[in-house]
Amino acid sequence: MSKPKVAFYWCASCGGCEETVVDLAEDILGVVEKVEIVLWPVAMDFKYKDIEAMADGSIVATFLNGAIRSTEQAAMARLLRRKSRYMIAYGTCAHLGGIPGLANQYSREQILRFNYEESPSVVNEGGVRPRVRTEEGGHELELPELHEGVRALDQVVEVDYYVPGCPPTPNLTRAAVGALLEGRLPGRGSVLAPDVALCSECPRRESKPVDLAFSGFVRPHQKLLDPGKCFLAQGVVCMGPGTRAGCGGQCIGGNMPCTGCFGPTTRVKDQGAKMLSSLCSNVGPKEEAGIDEVLKGIPDPVGTFYRYGLAKSLLRRKKNV
């Protein structure tokens, strides 16, 4: 019997998800024995045309990481969707848009203007910008156009499963690959991680106050952080209550608060809105001036509550006029 075919692909991503696959460490040798990897750009040489030539549905699973930003990425996602029985959004960017999704707060024009004109290190008196078509010395050169907006994978193609995390942990990855090879998969559309809030597996959960009343928020650099006490109890914003468990509280283990990369549980529609409402309902002062004073400790609500999920959130993106 031939081995099941698996593909890894990356779109708008940083490569961290790929590193996690490599971090399966010794296990990767076991995985390599059990499956046939037909596409893995970061580590192996393959050609697109080989994928195009494959029969539809002949890849058992494609693990696609990264958000979708360009037409080329969207086309590749569609091709792999067609060739694969299961399309798995791997990592936060494919799942929710990820940190690159924060770019949806700004326009393409702003990005181009800063990069090629306003940046203090740029010397560009002629105002040259990269162009879709350039002719130089008789050579015509093309660049893909940049698209407005960053999308999560399921905003482009149907997704069967999600492996959350920025990046996902090797454990979750191993479990996902195992479930796939052994056909032990949950309902289609599931996120392959526990459906409870991070607080439930947090080593500091004992010190989480039942009744929170914030008289002010402290930013992590503003005081020495107690390595054993719930961050919320220290007045530091921690996304744990609005974030899915499964990472084992890694950032907490590094003595820093959760920033929400696993996204919400199924009971929450919008991670940012959920955290915002839960924190705001616990603000001590009840009059406007007092509330404003407390919220000064959160100078960037979008970046704090929608750090990873802006592309998939109710806010989506800035409208470009």
Contacts (CB under 8 A) with another protein, residues 256-275: 256, 259
DSSP 3-state of 271:
helix
**Cβ nearer to another protein, comparing 48 with 280:** 48
Which helix (H) or strand (E) segment holds residue 27: the answer is helix 26-34
Burial category of 2 from C-beta neighbours within 10 Å (exposed 0-12, middle 13-18, buried 19 and up): exposed
User: What phi and psi values does residue 140 have, to the nearest 5 degrees?
Assistant: -95, 125
User: What phi and psi values does residue 10 have, to the nearest 5 degrees?
Assistant: -125, 140
> What span, in angstroms and rounded, lies between the C-alpha atoms of 201 and 204?
9
> What span, in angstroms and rounded, lies between the C-alpha atoms of 301 and 289?
18
**Cβ nearer to another protein, comparing 108 with 205:** 108
Residue 73 binds another protein, judged by CB under 8 A: yes
Residues making up the chain, counted from first to last: 321
**Cβ nearer to another protein, comparing 49 with 184:** 49
Exposure string for 35-69, b = 16+ CB within 10 A, e = fewer = bebbbbeeeeeeeeeebeebeeeebbbbbbbbbbb
Which residues contact residue 90 at a Cβ distance below 8 angstroms, ignoring those fewer than 6 apart?
A: 8, 17, 63, 64, 65, 163, 168, 173
84: β partners? 59
133: β partners? 142
Number of residues near another protein (by CB under 8 A): 92
Residue 123 binds another protein, judged by CB under 8 A: yes
Residue 282 binds another protein, judged by CB under 8 A: no
Of 233-252, binders to another protein (CB under 8 A) are: 250-252
Residue 122 binds another protein, judged by CB under 8 A: yes
**Cβ nearer to another protein, comparing 141 with 266:** 141
Residue 255 binds another protein, judged by CB under 8 A: yes
Of 13-72, binders to another protein (CB under 8 A) are: 13-20, 22-23, 25-26, 28-29, 32, 39, 41-49, 66-67, 69-70, 72
Of 86-105, binders to another protein (CB under 8 A) are: 93, 98-100, 102-103, 105
Q: How far is the CB of 14 from another protein (least distance, A)?
A: 4
Of 189-208, binders to another protein (CB under 8 A) are: none
167: cis peptide before it, omega within 30°?
A: yes
Q: How far is the CB of 20 from another protein (least distance, A)?
A: 6
Out of 2, 138, 267, 321, the residue judged to bind another protein by CB under 8 A: 138
Number of Cβ within 10 Å of residue 276's Cβ equals 17
Tell me the window of 80-88, 186-194, 195-203, 218-226 that interacts with another protein (CB under 8 A).
Answer: 218-226
**DSSP letter (8 states) at residue 89:** E
Out of 1, 2, 55, 120, the residue judged to bind another protein by CB under 8 A: 120
Which residues contact residue 47 at a Cβ distance below 8 angstroms, ignoring those fewer than 6 apart?
A: none
Q: How far is the CB of 184 from another protein (least distance, A)?
A: 27
Out of 53, 121, 184, 211, the residue judged to bind another protein by CB under 8 A: 121
**Cβ nearer to another protein, comparing 148 with 185:** 148
**Cβ nearer to another protein, comparing 7 with 180:** 7
Out of 3, 56, 71, 144, the residue judged to bind another protein by CB under 8 A: 144
